[in-house]
Amino acid sequence: MQQIRRSEQRGHANHGWLESFHSFSFASYYDPNHIEFGPLRVINEDRVQPGAGFGEHGHRDMEIISYVLEGELAHQDSLGNGSTLRPGDVQRMSAGTGVQHSEFNPSRTQAVHFLQIWIQPRSTGIAPGYEQKHFAPDARRGRLCRIVDGQGRDGALRMHQDASLYAGLFDGGEHAELSLDPARRAYVHLVRGSLHANAVELRAGDALMLRHADTLQLRHGEGAEVLVFDLPER
């Protein structure tokens, strides 16, 4: 099974201080055909204006991944963590039994553009946790770099789910191939640029959902930045 979801089919909200595109049902956006994909529950593409942000709020039983594209995102949480994420930085927060956190744009002049991703954990009631790591462009150039993984393989951040998240940058003749287990799912989200995924042309914000596939081929990128999720069937 191969299904394409175009950027303009996503949910959209503009609150002035925040503009957000929702790949799955979220807040006031509801689409019964796009609630989740396996354990992948949220991909929100957010742009937060200077000095604005999300005040302290709570989460539980969710793996929350932040991936910064432009600008800076400041984070504080009830675990005592405080940091500022910049392009190339990836953060994984396991909400587990419960955590409070806030996110805001510390800049006075530049909006922050980032993705917030939620993945449901394989079990509930785990202890909350936090990790952050920088993945340089060279590590992602012309290849799929594993950035979050259920076993922490290849130096990736570790999440509580049997899943892997890869990031890649592709231009010109650069290409990559990823072997897939046909009993699992794969989700390709093009962050920016254009790229062919299994011969399907994707543009920024587009997604390709795969089931029962054994290979993912990425090629013909033009300024492409892509995320690939290797997911269990549930």
Q: How many CA atoms lie less than 13 Å away from 91 in the CB half-sphere?
A: 26
**Residue 160, pLDDT above cutoff 90:** yes
Structural Rg of the chain based on CA atoms: 17
- Does 60 have pLDDT greater than 90? yes
Closest CA to 180 of 193, 163, 195, 202: 163
Closest CA to 202 of 184, 185, 176, 223: 223
| Sequence letter at residue 208 | L
Residue 56 confidence (pLDDT) above 90? no
Return the SS3 of 156: coil
Residue (of 138, 218, 137) closest to 176 by Cα position: 218
pLDDT at position 156: 98
* Mean pLDDT in residue range 216-234: 96
Taking CA atoms, 98 is separated from 67, 94, 95, 118, in Å, by 22, 9, 5, 15
Q: How confident is the model at residue 122 (pLDDT cuts 50, 70, 90)?
A: very high
List the domain boundaries for the chain: 2-231
95-113: average pLDDT: 93
The CATH T-level fold of domain 2-231 is Jelly Rolls (2.60.120)
Q: Is the pLDDT of residue 221 over 90?
A: yes
- Mean residue pLDDT across the chain: 96
Per-residue pLDDT, 79: 84
Q: How far apart are CA 87 and CA 72, in angstroms?
A: 8
218 vs 195: CA distance, rounded Å? 7
> What is the predicted pLDDT for the residue at 78?
85
Q: Across residues 63-85, what is the average pLDDT?
A: 92
DSSP 153: G
Stronger pLDDT, 102 or 45, i.e. the higher one: 45
Q: Which pLDDT belongs to residue 128? A: 94
Average pLDDT over residues 197-205: 97
Mean pLDDT across 2-9: 97
Is residue 152 within 8 A of residue 92, CB to CB? The reply is no
- Asked whether the predicted pLDDT for residue 138 surpasses 90, the reply is yes
Backbone angles phi, psi at 124, to 5 degrees: -95, 165
Q: Does residue 192 register a pLDDT over 90?
A: yes
